[in-house]
Amino acid sequence: MEGTSCKKWHPTLADPTRIRQAKPRTLGKTMVMDKGLGLHAYEDLLQSAGEHVDYIKLGFGTSALYPGEMLRRKIEMAKEYGIDIYPGGTFLEVAVRSGLVSSFFDTVTSLGFTCVEISDGTIEMDRTQRSELIVRGIQAGLKVVTEYGKKCWGSSVEVDELVATISGDIGMGAELVTIEARESGVGVGIFDEEGSCKDQELLHVLKKVPGPEVLLWEAPLKNQQIRLLEILGPGVHLGNVAPADIISLEALRRGLRSDTFHLGDPCDPCKLIQGEGFEVHAD
């Protein structure tokens, strides 16, 4: 007879997929974009959903716009919850353009950021400069996440270029390569002008890259998150998630919503994670 006084949900009810990892995770990382939360909202966010967040990105150049003590407190709270926190890559691009890279890294480390994003979504950056920035971040004691793709409308994923970028970035010590989709998720990368996933382009990418587990897909919209979970399974890394959507995304990962209910079925042939690897499935 089932007990009626349990204080915790049965593990299979809490995670019907039975594969969700606790932090620090190697699969299924979630990156949240903070575009300007106040401290109270930020603290509420961490208290309610911090367990499900692996990275917080302070979007674009917003890191420069907070009062100093508030910024330090945000960084401290993230670390208290085991979350890596970093400024948006566009802010580093501003530093590159302005010739202030040394100042940027000095401030990032003195403030206590744990991670840095290296991107060229707005500026042009050659392989040598990109590699130098990755090494500089690692030497500063920071984790490095890079980003591939341009932010302009209609930009797409050039597969050969992406494969070369992944090889170069991971080879230099980056942890993950983020696939650009901006905070809108519309008309950029693998998403069309309506924000729908371009499946054939995605599958073409997945056939070419050395390992999907090194990719973090920016996917701010629910339909995008669902599609990537359907194709890559609950272990896919997802980013640019809105603070209000963290727990709902976690429910999607675990098969606790109708949209991904099948992920919780152990007999489902579309369950895509096999141990530590990924197996790509096309409908």
Is residue 58 pLDDT above 80, yes or no? yes
Residues 6+ apart with CB under 8 A from 23: 51, 54, 82
pLDDT of residue 275: 34
Q: Which domain holds residue 119?
A: 19-276
Is residue 258 pLDDT above 80, yes or no? yes
Mean pLDDT of the chain: 87
Nearest to 205 by CA among 132, 282, 262, 263: 282
Paired with 178 in beta bridges are 147, 216
Nearest to 180 by CA among 152, 155, 203, 149: 149
Give per-residue pLDDT as tens, 74-133.
Answer: 999 999 999 999 999 999 999 999 999 999 999 999 999 999 999 988 889 999 999 999
In this structure, is residue 164 part of a structural domain?
yes
Sheet holding 115-118, edge to edge: 84-87, 55-58, 30-34, 237-241, 215-218, 176-179, 143-148, 115-118
In this structure, is residue 35 part of a structural domain?
yes
Q: Could you write out the DSSP letters of every residue in the chain?
A: ---S--SS--HHHH-TTS-PPPSSPSSS-EEEEESS--HHHHHHHHHHHGGG-SEEEE-TTGGGGS-HHHHHHHHHHHHHTT-EEEE-HHHHHHHHHHT-HHHHHHHHHHHT--EEEE--SSS---HHHHHHHHHHHHHTT-EEEEEES--STT----HHHHHHHHHHHHHHT-SEEEEP-TTT-SSBTTB-TTS-B-HHHHHHHHHHSS-GGGEEEE--SHHHHHHHHHHH-TT-EEEEE-GGGHHHHHHHHTT-SGGGGGGG-TT-TT--EETTEE-----
What percentage of the chain has pLDDT greater than the value 90? 66
Task: Work out the average pLDDT over 179-187.
Answer: 67
pLDDT of residue 206: 85
Task: Work out the average pLDDT over 63-67.
Answer: 97
Task: Work out the average pLDDT over 198-205.
Answer: 83
Give per-residue pLDDT as tens, 138-169.
Answer: 999 999 999 987 654 445 667 788 888 999 99
Does residue 168 contact residue 160 with C-beta atoms inside 8 Å? no
Residue type, 155: S
Total domains in the chain come to 1
pLDDT of residue 265: 76
Is residue 281 pLDDT above 80, yes or no? no
pLDDT of residue 283: 41
Say what the pTM is: 0.88
Angle at CA of residue 124, ends 118 and 125, nearest 5°: 50
Does residue 70 contact residue 39 with C-beta atoms inside 8 Å? yes
In this structure, is residue 8 part of a structural domain?
no
pLDDT of residue 158: 77
In this structure, is residue 14 part of a structural domain?
no
In this structure, is residue 13 part of a structural domain?
no
Does residue 112 contact residue 79 with C-beta atoms inside 8 Å? yes
Which domain CATH number covers 68?
3.20.20.70
In this structure, is residue 10 part of a structural domain?
no
Q: How confident is the model at residue 268 (pLDDT cuts 50, 70, 90)?
A: low
Give per-residue pLDDT as tens, 13-51.
Answer: 999 999 899 999 999 999 999 999 999 999 999 999 999
In this structure, is residue 136 part of a structural domain?
yes
Four-CA torsion 254, 260, 263, 267, nearest 10 degrees: 150
